[in-house]
Chains A and B, each alone.
Chain A
């Protein structure tokens, strides 16, 4: 089945530094990937839609200069949190549509817990 690998699963960084999160589709080509943010005990909020070879489309209220998304290949999308601050601490999840059509739904990475200290 479709597998999406997200790395790292946990990261702690100092305020002001940048952190890169990788999202890879292991056995299928993901022309579109999605990045979400989830606050504790809350739902997933779509941050941006990433299409291979083009600029990401950001949702309203999401700073594109702060959350840099790169989708340079059909199997890899990256999210870089630049100049991280404690309020950026959150759970970040990526997803891509499975390759079995709609019946397979979307495949999610296992998430990255970012803590900015």
Chain B
């Protein structure tokens, strides 16, 4: 069964460093998402991406964050200058189309980011 994959599973970085989190969505999906979950807290929406552009972003997704679909398979989240509070689990998700019963999002296993 096709699934969303994410790499790395765990990333440790120093404060101020740039990190790139990678996701490979399910191949026929058109809509892509990044979420984060700080330890012990709820999952929070960061950004949605469709047709090679951001369709919606939350207030968390500030100028330090960017997303890109550099080729036909990868979807990346870049954090330019990491802060301690960026430490969280980052989940990528994808779905095939918009609306109704076809709105099921499939989540990847997550990347745990630790900022020291």
Question: Are A and B a genuine interacting pair, yes or no?
Answer: no
What is B's interface to A at a CB cutoff of 8 Å? Answer: none
Query: Which residues of A approach B to under 8 Å, CB–CB?
Result: none
